[in-house]
Amino acid sequence: MNRFPRQAGLTLVELMVATTLSLVLLAGVLVVFSANKATYQLQNGLGALQENGRYAVRQIAADLQQAGYGGCLSPHLVYREDGPPRVINIASSPPTYLTEFQNGTFLVGRNDQAGTLTIGGVNMVPGTDSIEIRGPLRSNINMVSGPMLTTDPITIVGAASGFATNEYLLISDCGSATILRAASVTAGSTTTTITYSGGALAAPYQGDAVVMEFATHTYFVGSTGRNNASGQAITALYRWDGAGSATELVDGVENMQIEYALDTDADGRIEQFVSAGVGIDLTQAVAVRISLLLNSIEGAGADEVPYTYFPSGSTQISPGTGDYRLRQEFSSVVSIRNAVL
């Protein structure tokens, strides 16, 4: 009689041991995964934070370096005490910033804005600063094609000037400058002709004169109207060009503080750093200190991370409960070249 051998298998104890080991290994995998995810979130948040911070500072600094630029006439874009003004404005119904520019006001600041202020359709964040910068900011610089009379249309070298009808333009040489509004801009094969109204130019400009687009840029921290995944409001750095809607440049900008380096006695040295306010003459400013506080928008950790921010110095500031966003300050002192050259 043949007997079949009994089938061998796992005992209940062996199954329980195997299951326990599997759970331990799975728990280890989950721990490693969670740690890697947290590290990724931290590195990703920090990387985006630093990229946004550098970009925001560069945007403001680029305009500050062009504030008050007038070509060869820089840095003398102010009224003369013993003669006619160096800069005249023949634009009809000019905005206030053009008139102030003639007097050497290239910067206008607001310090710790209280209450609600809307700029270009965006609500400025209370307690933050703003700065308005004036001049031919990031404009094409075009040479006049040759001698001209004070009532002649302006002819510049090149067919691609980048100028448009109704834009405010600045034409200048080493002796004077004229602010005007373009009535028409007509491109030819090698030159561009600009007509204007409102009166005669300040001087019969020659081939060494340049033409630039005049602009005003206001930088401020505003509310985007968006929230992150935790329901926290997202704020951003905005730029307003004096008309229309403000443009969002960088999100995650939480605060901006501006200080102005003043040369109060015109000796070429900085006497003090001050905030904008009543009694502060910003025509004496030779440099600007920008301090931006940025956050990572989304939470990047499991704990609230204290941070430091001007003007608190080394004193740490604790975020609100449940606010796990990373924060970093970006600061730069930018020379106003056309005030010191």
Lowest mean pLDDT among 70-74, 104-108, 154-158, 185-189: 70-74
Percent of the chain scoring above 90 in pLDDT? 51
> pLDDT of 58-94, one tens digit each?
999 999 999 988 888 876 666 555 556 788 899 988 8
Whether residue 247 lies inside any domain: the answer is: yes
Query: What whole-number distance in Å separates Cα of residue 339 and Cα of residue 103?
Result: 13
Q: Give the tens place of pLDDT for each residue, 281-340.
A: 998 899 999 999 999 998 877 788 888 887 767 788 888 888 988 899 999 999 988 776
**pLDDT tens digits, 44-65:** 667 788 899 999 999 999 999 9
Q: What is the pLDDT of residue 8?
A: 62
Of the chain, the end-to-end C-alpha distance in Å amounts to: 115
In a domain, 174, yes or no: no
- Bridge partners, residue 28, by sequence: none
Q: What percentage of the chain exceeds 70 in pLDDT?
A: 89
Containing structural domain, residue 60: 45-68+106-137+215-340
Whether 186 is covered by a domain: the verdict is: no
Q: Does residue 327 form part of some domain?
A: yes
Residue with tokens 């199954």: 15
How many domains does the chain fold into?
A: 1
- pLDDT, mean of residues 273-282: 89
Cα–Cα distance for residue pair 206/26, rounded to 1 Å: 81
Task: Identify the DSSP state of 49.
Answer: H
The 3-class secondary structure across the chain, one letter per residue, is: CCCCCCCCCCCHHHHHHHHHHHHHHHHHHHHHHHHHHHHHHHHHHHHHHHHHHHHHHHHHHHHHCCCCCCHHHCCCCCCCCCCCCCEEECCCCCCHHHHHHHCCCCEEEECCCCCCCEECCEEECCCCCEEEEEECCCCCCEEECCCCCCCCCEEEECCCCCCCCCCEEEEECCCCEEEEEEEEEEECCCEEEEEECCCCCCCCCCCCCEEEECEEEEEEEEEEEEECCCCCEEEEEEEECCCCCCEEEEECEEEEEEEEEECCCCCCCCCEEECCCCCCCHHHEEEEEEEEEEECCCCCCCCCCCECCCCCCCCCECCCCCCCCCEEEEEEEEECHHHHC
Q: Which backbone phi and psi does 151 adopt, to 5 degrees?
A: -110, 5
Does 98 map to a domain? Answer: no
Binning pLDDT at 50, 70 and 90, where does residue 3 land? low
| Cα–Cα distance, 134 to 101 (Å, whole number) | 7
- Residue 16, pLDDT > 90, answer no
Tell me which of 97-106, 120-129, 184-193, 255-264 is least confident: 97-106
What average pLDDT does range 120-142 have in this prediction? 92
Q: Is the dihedral of CA 173, 175, 181, 185 positive or negative?
A: negative
Reply yes or no on whether the pLDDT at 109 is more than 60: yes
Give the whole-angstrom CA distance, residue 5 versus residue 252: 73
The amino acid at residue 240 is W
Q: Are 181 and 170 in contact (CB under 8 A)?
A: no
Q: How high is the pLDDT of residue 261?
A: 94
Examine residue 182 and state whether it is found in any structural domain, yes or no. Answer: no
Q: Is residue 283 part of a domain?
A: yes
Give 139 or 137, the one with higher predicted confidence.
137
- Answer whether residue 238 is part of any domain: yes
Average model confidence (pLDDT) across the chain: 87
Instruction: Give the CA distances from residue 198 to residues 93, 136, 139, 241, 267, in Å, rounded to whole numbers and listed in that order.
Output: 10, 21, 23, 24, 39
| pTM, full prediction | 0.84
Residue 219 scores a pLDDT above 80: yes
CA distance 257 to 229: 27
| Better-scored residue on pLDDT, 179 or 34 | 179
- Residues 151-167 have pLDDT tens digits of 999 999 988 888 999 99
